[in-house]
Chains A and B, each alone.
Chain A
Amino acid sequence: MNETPKPIAGTASYLDDRLGAGSFLKRNLRKVFPDHWSFLLGEIALYSFIILLLTGTFLTFWFKPSMGHVEYQGVYEPLKGVMMSEAYASTLHISFEVRGGLLIRQMHHWAALLFVAGMMVHALRVFFTGAYRKPRELNWLIGVLLLTLALAEGLTGYSLPDDLLSGAGLRITEGVAISLPIVGTYITFFLFGGEYPGVDVISRFYTLHILLIPGILLALISAHMVLMWVQKHTQMPGPGRTEHNVVGAPFYPAFMAKAGAYFLFTFACIAGLGTFAQINPIWLFGPYTPADISAGSQPDFYMGFLEGALRLMPAWEINFLGHTLPLSVLIPALVPMGIIMTGLALYPFAEQWITGDRREHHLADRPRNAPVRTSIGMAAVTFYGILWLLGANDEISTHFHIGLYETTIIGRFAIFLGPAIAYWITYRICIGLQRRDQDILSHGVESGVIKRLPHGEYIEVHTPPAEDIAEHMRGKKQIQIVPGDDDKDGIPPKGVRGPIGKLRAKASKFYGTDHVPLDGDGHHDGHADEHAAVGAGDKPRELH
C-alpha cells in the first residue's frame, strides 16, 4: 500500500489531534508477541467471556428473574398446566418460542463451561512454565481471583432457570451456607430473604450474575491484559531468545490477525457445541420444588470437585454446649477449595522464599526442568481430578457397574494416595526427560542411517539435533538455592538460621538441586575418538 486511504488517514489525524494516540501507536503497533501455541490458551477464556456478555445480554431480553408462581401455558406439551416459577417459564419461552433462543441459551452455557475450562488450562500453562514468577506475581493473583469469581458467576448463572436440577444445586448451596459456624443461619436468611427457598434468591442471583460479578470480571480481565501488555509476554527458550528480549511477530498485522482468527475459532467452537450438543435441557428436568430430586443430579463440571468432596466425607459432626459443628459439610466445602485457591495464590511467594530467587524471569521454564514444581502441580491436578471424578460417582457406578459405596471408599483412600503417586511418577518422568535432553545434546539424534564399520561393527549414524531444538534444550536454567552451608566459623548464613531457616535451607536444596546438569556443549571426547574414522570431516558424528 503506497498511500493510506483518505478516510483512514483523516480519522486517524482527527483522533491524534485530540487524543495524542500517535505516540501510543508508535510504541505499540510493532509490539512483539512470542509465538507458542500454549500462549493462546488464555485467550479461550477471554473470548468466551466476550461471547458470554453478548449471548447473556440477548437472554436478558426475555428472561424474567422472578419466583412468582405461574401456570405454564407455553408450547412444550409435557409441562402444560404445570405450576412453575416465572424464571423457569421464561427460560422455556426463550428455548421454544424465540427464534435462535435455544441456540443462544446453549451457546451461553457452553461458553460458560469453556470460559472456566479455558482459565484452567491457561493457569496450568502459566504454572508449569513458571510464568507466574517475578515480575508477574500480581497478574497471577488477579488470575486466581478471576478463577474464583468465575466459579461464583457460574454458580449464580446455573441457578437462574429455577429448574429441578439447578434447584438441587441451590439447595446444596443453602445446606453448605447454613452449616457455617456462628454466622451460617444469618447468611442463609439474608441470602434467601428468610427461609429456604423464599421468593428472592433468583432475582438476587440475577443481579449478581449479570451486573456485579461480570462487572468485576471485566475490570480484572482488563487489568490482566494491561499488565500482560506492559510486562510483555514470557517466551520459550530458543535461539536468540534471552531474558532481556522478546522474539516473535509484531502486533500489527500478524499477531492481530492471529488473535482475530482465534476469536473466530472460539466463537465457532461455541456455536458448534450449541448446535450439535444439547446442554442443560431444562424442559426435561421440570420446575423446581424442594420436595423432589433426580438421580444423577450433578453440578456443572467446575463445581464437581466440591460435590465430590461432599460425597467423600465421613459423617463427622460435633455437638457442644448447645451448638453444632457439621464437619461433614464444612470440611469438604471449605478445605479443598481452600487448598487449591490458597495454594495457587501463595505459590509464587512460597517459591521465592524457598529459592531466594528475586530476579525477573521472562524465559519460561520447560516443565521438566523444574521437576519439584511440576510434580507439585501434577499432585494438585490429581487431587482436584479425584474429587471431580467422585462428584460423578453415581454415574460411574451405573455406567461401569461398580458398587456405589465402593467408589466412595476407594475415593477416601485415593484422595491421599493419588496425589502422592502422581508426585512420584511426575518427578521420575521429569528426571527421565532431562536425561533424554542431555543425551540428545551430547550424542545427537538417531538419523536412521546404519553404517557398517571396516571391522564389521554396525552403528547407527547420529546427527546433532536441529539448532533450534538444541537451543530450546540449552535454555534450561538452574533453579536458585539459598546458600545453606555454614561459613568457616560454623555460622550459617543469614536467612537460614533458626529452625525455620534450617527448614528453608533444606526445602531450597530439595527444590532446586539439579540432578541432571547439562554438560557443556555436549562433546564426549571418548566417543568422538572412538568413531573419528567414520564421517571424519562430515558434520554428522557417529555415535552409539
Chain B
Amino acid sequence: MIGTGISVNSITARRRRHPLARLAVVALALGLLGGGYAAAAPSDSTADAAVASGKADDVAEGRSLFVAHCASCHGLSAEGTSMGPTLVGVGAAAVDFQVSSGRMPAADPSAQAPRKPLGEWVTPEAVRQLAAYVQTLGGGPTIPTKEMVSGGDAAKGGELFRANCIQCHNFVGAGGALTYGKYAPDLNESTPEQIYEAMATGPQAMPVFNDSVVKPENKADIIAYITQVRGQVDPGGFGLGRIGPVTEGLVVWVAGISFMSLAAIWITAKKRKRTSK
C-alpha cells in the first residue's frame, strides 16, 4: 500500500503529463492491488477450505485425539453427554479457541472453564487436526487467518468495543464478574485469533457476534483496539491493574495515609532520654 503511494507521487511529480495520467496511474495501481488481493484471497480460502474439510489424515488424526482427550465428556461421536455439550456444528473456531487457550479439556466441572497452561499433547498441529475433525461433523465458524485478525482500525474498533464488549470485559479488557461464579475473562492474554473466535462462536456464557451483525472487518477493528490499548504504556505511572477507582482508593489509604502518618510520627517524635532511675 505504502509502496504504491510513493510510486504514484514519484511518477506524477517527475513528468508533467496529461492531468488524466495521474488518474490513470491511480486506477492502474488500484487495479493491481485488487488483482493482487483477488489472487491472494482464493489461496486463503483454499487454505481455509483445507482446514475446514480437513485432509483425510488430519481428520483421522483429529478423531483419534478427540477420542483420547474429549470423548469422555462430549461423547464418542461428539454428540454430547450430560458432562459436555454436543460439538456438532460448533466449528473449528470453537475448538481452536477452547483448546489453544487451555480451557478444554476441562480440568473439573466448575461454573466456568478457566484459561490454563496447555497440556503436553496440545501442539498447534494437534489443535489443527482436532479442529479439522470437529469441522467435518457439521460445519460452523472456521479458524480466522492472520489477515482476518490484523489491520483493523483501532478508533472504529474502540467504539464497537465500548458498545458491545466492555459491559462484561471492562474498559481495557481486564474482565469482570458474572452471575453464579461465572466471569468475563481478562482479554490481555488472548491472541487475536482467540478474540476473533470468541466473538464468532460465543464460548460458554458469552453471546455470539456472528459475521452478519459484527462484520469480519469490524471484528478486526475490535481486535486492533484491544491489542493496541493493551500494548500501550501507562503514561501516568503504574497502571494499578487498570481497573479504575477501587485500586486508586486502596492506594490512597495504604500508601498515602500511611506515608503521611509516618511523616507525622517522624516530625513529632522525640528521642526518649535514657532514664536510669
A147 to chain B, nearest CB (A): 16
Per a CB cutoff under 8 Å, which of A106, A118, A300 touches B236? A106
Nearest A-chain residue to B176, judged by Cβ: A295
Residues of B within 8 A of A164 (CB): 162, 166, 171
A73 to chain B, nearest CB (A): 11
Q: Are the C-beta atoms of B176 and A273 separated by less than 8 Å?
A: no
Nearest B-chain residue to A114, judged by Cβ: B256
Q: Are the C-beta atoms of A300 and B245 separated by less than 8 Å?
A: yes
Given contacts A258-B267, A293-B167, contact A78 B155 (CB under 8 A): yes
B144 to chain A, nearest CB (A): 22
A19-27, A30-38, A418-426: which lies at the interface? A30-38
Instruction: Answer yes or no: A392 CB below 8 A from chain B CBs.
Output: yes
Task: A464 to B276: give the CA distance in the assembly, Å.
Answer: 11
Residues of B within 8 A of A293 (CB): 166-167
Task: A448 to B76: give the CA distance in the assembly, Å.
Answer: 75
Q: Is the interface of B mostly helix, strand, loop or mixed?
A: helix
Residues of A within 8 A of B30 (CB): none
B window 219-239: CB within 8 A of A = 225, 228-229, 232, 234-239
Residues of A within 8 A of B174 (CB): 296
Instruction: Answer yes or no: A41 CB below 8 A from chain B CBs.
Output: yes
Q: Are the C-beta atoms of A279 and B268 separated by less than 8 Å?
A: no
Q: Are the C-beta atoms of B264 and A38 separated by less than 8 Å?
A: yes
A135-143, A220-228, A281-289: which lies at the interface? A281-289
Most buried by A among B166, B180, B260, B265: B260
Q: Are the C-beta atoms of B267 and A117 separated by less than 8 Å?
A: no
Instruction: Answer yes or no: B208 CB below 8 A from chain A CBs.
Output: no
Q: Are the C-beta atoms of B238 and A278 separated by less than 8 Å?
A: yes
Given contacts A403-B181, A404-B179, contact A37 B166 (CB under 8 A): no
Task: Give chain A's interface residues, CB within 8 Å of chain B.
Answer: 35-41, 44, 77-82, 95-96, 102, 106, 110, 113-114, 117-118, 121, 164-165, 258, 261-262, 265-266, 269, 273-281, 284-286, 289, 291-301, 304, 392-395, 397-398, 401, 403-405, 464, 466-467, 539
Residues of A within 8 A of B159 (CB): 82, 286
Is the interface on chain B under 10, 10 to 19, 20 to 34, or 35 or more residues?
35 or more
Instruction: Answer yes or no: B175 CB below 8 A from chain A CBs.
Output: yes
Instruction: Answer yes or no: B8 CB below 8 A from chain A CBs.
Output: no
Residues of B within 8 A of A35 (CB): 268, 270
Task: A173 to B260: give the CA distance in the assembly, Å.
Answer: 32
Q: Are the C-beta atoms of B171 and A117 separated by less than 8 Å?
A: no
Task: A269 to B248: give the CA distance in the assembly, Å.
Answer: 14
Q: Are the C-beta atoms of A294 and B166 separated by less than 8 Å?
A: yes
Nearest A-chain residue to B232, judged by Cβ: A78
Residues of A within 8 A of B268 (CB): 35-37, 39-40, 258
Residues of B within 8 A of A404 (CB): 177-181
Task: A94 to B239: give the CA distance in the assembly, Å.
Answer: 19
Nearest A-chain residue to B243, judged by Cβ: A296
Nearest A-chain residue to B267, judged by Cβ: A258
Given contacts A118-B260, A398-B183, A539-B277, contact A78 B246 (CB under 8 A): no
Given contacts A278-B235, A278-B238, A281-B239, contact A286 B155 (CB under 8 A): no
Q: Are the C-beta atoms of B166 and A295 separated by less than 8 Å?
A: yes
Task: A81 to B221: give the CA distance in the assembly, Å.
Answer: 14
B21 to chain A, nearest CB (A): 32
Q: Are the C-beta atoms of A118 and B257 separated by less than 8 Å?
A: yes
Most buried by A among B155, B162, B245, B261: B245
Q: Are the C-beta atoms of B257 and A102 separated by less than 8 Å?
A: no
Instruction: Answer yes or no: B172 CB below 8 A from chain A CBs.
Output: yes
Q: Are the C-beta atoms of A295 and B168 separated by less than 8 Å?
A: yes
**Closest 9 pairs (CB-CB, A-B):** A295-B176, A301-B249, A278-B236, A397-B177, A40-B264, A113-B252, A265-B263, A37-B264, A276-B237
A311 to chain B, nearest CB (A): 12
Instruction: Answer yes or no: B40 CB below 8 A from chain A CBs.
Output: no
Task: A59 to B260: give the CA distance in the assembly, Å.
Answer: 25
Q: Are the C-beta atoms of A265 and B260 separated by less than 8 Å?
A: yes
Q: Are the C-beta atoms of B246 and A392 separated by less than 8 Å?
A: yes
B window 147-205: CB within 8 A of A = 154-156, 158-159, 162-163, 166-172, 174-181, 183-184
Q: Are the C-beta atoms of A80 and B155 separated by less than 8 Å?
A: yes
B16 to chain A, nearest CB (A): 34
Per a CB cutoff under 8 Å, which of A117, A261, A394 touches B252? A117
A36 to chain B, nearest CB (A): 6
Task: A40 to B172: give the CA distance in the assembly, Å.
Answer: 39
B121 to chain A, nearest CB (A): 28
User: 20 A-B Cβ contacts within 8 A?
Assistant: A44-B260, A117-B252, A121-B257, A165-B171, A265-B260, A277-B237, A285-B171, A291-B163, A292-B167, A296-B243, A298-B246, A301-B245, A301-B246, A301-B248, A301-B249, A301-B252, A395-B177, A397-B183, A398-B183, A539-B277
